[in-house]
Amino acid sequence: MVRFDNVGMRYGPGPEVLRDLSFDLPRGSFQFLTGPSGAGKTSLLRLIYLAARPSRGLVSFFGRDSSTLPRAELPLLRRRIGVVFQEFKLLNHLSVFDNVALPLRVSGRQSSDYAEDVIELLNWVGLGDKITASPATLSGGEKQRVAIARAVVNQPEVLIADEPTGNVDHEMGMRLLRLFVELNKLGTTIVLATHDLQLVRMLDAPVMTLSNGHLHIRPPRSERSVSGGDADSPIPSPLAVREAVESGAAFETDLHSDQSEDTP
């Protein structure tokens, strides 16, 4: 679905911030992306959501080479990728409803076609009572859920989330993680960038670790026990992730519990 082959990236004449990245994100997979600040996580995410092009190597999306992709086709590809930004990128002059409906609106759909779906989605993320609110009046966790709802409203094939739990408390972090897992169960490929190792340990999912521009991929625990090590490997099938989620064993808290008391 998304494939990197010997990808390098630099800004201007500076040194490479990403070096020799090769990996494949299979359809329906779930993976964490972690690494220290400045390791190149944001640059890698920018490459994945087509906000930047590699300096060398091949990045392909859905079988298309990103470097030779005509500009006019970029929006169509972007509609297949949902992004949850660390800083949310919500528009305060629009209501929660309009923010979530944005990807549908820009693709030319009429509000009468999608209003019901958007409201249902907002109810699903626990914001059914905030439909007409401005994002400026929401708490960090609520904003995060609006951003997630916007990222998934178009049913993207790939969802990229940059520190989605960075601005929320532990309980909300768990609920958001549950949300991503549910989306993954529905077939969405998930890349979740986080510093939170506790969060990473909660799921039996592969972990992509960036360090000084190099990528190390650690397979999920279940596969490591079979292969017997931490060696680099292609990202495996999400089966293990799904099984872990469905069994609920990886979760320490009940992620289906009622919403927390968010305060702006």
Find out whether 17 and 10 touch, Cβ atoms under 8 Å. yes
User: Between 77 and 116, how does the x/- string for binding to another protein read (CB under 8 A)?
Assistant: -xx---x-----xxx-xxxxxx--xxx-xxx---xx--x-
The secondary structure of residue 108, as a DSSP letter, is T
Radius of gyration of the chain (CA): 18
Among 15, 71, 228, 263, binds another protein (CB under 8 A): 71
Residue number with CB closer to another protein (18 or 101): 101
User: Between 174 and 193, how does the x/- string for binding to another protein read (CB under 8 A)?
Assistant: --------------------
Residue number with CB closer to another protein (54 or 219): 54
Residue number with CB closer to another protein (105 or 195): 105
State the number of CA atoms in the 13 A half-sphere of 133 facing the CB. Answer: 15
Does residue 76 belong to the site contacting another protein (CB under 8 A)? Answer: yes
Q: Kindly state the smallest distance separating residue 214's Cβ from another protein, in Å.
A: 27
For the record, the structure tokens of 222 come out as 């279940």
Residue number with CB closer to another protein (22 or 95): 95
- Region 39-58 residues binding another protein, contact defined as CB under 8 A: 49, 51
For the record, the structure tokens of 264 come out as 């702006």
Does residue 132 belong to the site contacting another protein (CB under 8 A)? Answer: yes
Q: Kindly state the smallest distance separating residue 196's Cβ from another protein, in Å.
A: 24
The secondary structure of residue 68, as a DSSP letter, is G
- Which stretch of DSSP H or E encloses residue 184? helix 170-185
With H, G, I as helix, E, B as strand and everything else as coil, classify residue 202.
Answer: helix
Does residue 150 belong to the site contacting another protein (CB under 8 A)? Answer: yes
Whole-angstrom distance, CA of residue 29 vs CA of residue 10:
28
Whole-angstrom distance, CA of residue 8 vs CA of residue 67:
13
**How far does Cα 196 stand from its chain's mean position?**
15
With H, G, I as helix, E, B as strand and everything else as coil, classify residue 210.
Answer: strand
For the record, the structure tokens of 6 come out as 């010997």
Does residue 250 belong to the site contacting another protein (CB under 8 A)? Answer: no
Q: Kindly state the smallest distance separating residue 146's Cβ from another protein, in Å.
A: 12
Q: Which residues bind another protein (CB under 8 A)?
A: 49, 51, 71-72, 74-76, 78-79, 83, 89-91, 93-98, 101-103, 105-107, 111-112, 115, 118-119, 131-132, 134, 150, 154
